[in-house]
């Protein structure tokens, strides 16, 4: 970790600490850096998905079909099982 001396906007830092639930300047700044990086990464992934959908490369209906969610049951078995058959 590097050490840097910078001037900070105290009001913005306090507001960020409240939003992030942090208590120190260091934690607030590090959390904010991680948060913006993750947010931008998610935004890029969403834009890529939108492009794939617009190009017809991804079928949104298949993605939204919860019956096959997380490698669900085989196609023929989906309708035969009840809630009691599923493991907790």
> Tens digits of per-residue pLDDT, 17-52?
999 999 999 999 999 999 999 999 999 999 999 999
The structure's pTM equals 0.65
Residue 87 contacts residue 73 (beta carbons within 8 Å) = no
Task: Give the confidence band of 61 by pLDDT, cuts at 50, 70, 90.
Answer: confident
Q: Convert 15-63 into a string of H (helix), E (strand) and C (coil).
A: HHHHHHCCCCHHHHHHHHHHHHHHHHHHHHHHHHHHHHHHCCCCCHHHH
Q: Calculate the average pLDDT of the chain.
A: 85
């Amino acid at each position: 970790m590097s050490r840097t001396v910078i001037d900070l906007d105290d009001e913005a830092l306090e507001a960020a600490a409240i939003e992030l639930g942090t208590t120190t300047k260091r934690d607030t700044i590090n959390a904010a850096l991680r948060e913006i990086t993750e947010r931008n990464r998610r935004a890029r992934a969403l834009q890529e998905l939108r492009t794939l959908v617009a190009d017809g490369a991804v079928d949104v209906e298949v993605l939204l079909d919860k019956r096959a969610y997380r490698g669900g049951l085989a196609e023929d078995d989906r309708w035969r099982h009840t809630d009691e058959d599923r493991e907790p």
